[in-house]
Amino acid sequence: MKKKIFPLGPKASDWLVTLYVLATLWGRFLLESQLQGHFLISIGIGAFSLLFIWALMKSRFINPSFFGMYEPYDLKEPKQTLVENA
């Protein structure tokens, strides 16, 4: 099990992800006029932005619950599978 070094709570993680996605989207809209039709660069920037968020989630720095739609992952109580119950 990986130990959490400095995790954010679910609500703080949700707001951080939301603000980050909106800021990068706004930045991409501003950048589009300067790229003069080279939309693949904008798609690459968007993909890198999502990769950065994925890395933060994978390292357990952020623990988003998608505004209550999903329960945050808890390392202390792993869920049992059907194989373990048999």
Residue 2 domain-assigned (yes or no): no
Using an 8 Å Cβ cutoff, are 71 and 64 in contact? no
Query: Residue 48: pLDDT band by 50, 70, 90 thresholds?
Result: very high
pTM of the model: 0.66
Lowest mean pLDDT among 2-6, 16-20, 52-56: 2-6
HSE-CB of 43 using CA atoms within 13 angstroms: 4
Give domain status of residue 57, yes or no: yes
61 found inside a domain = yes
The residue range of the domain holding 64 is 10-85
Q: Does residue 63 lie within any of the structural domains?
A: yes
How many domains, in total, are found in the chain?
Answer: 1
- Whether 45 is in a domain gets the answer yes
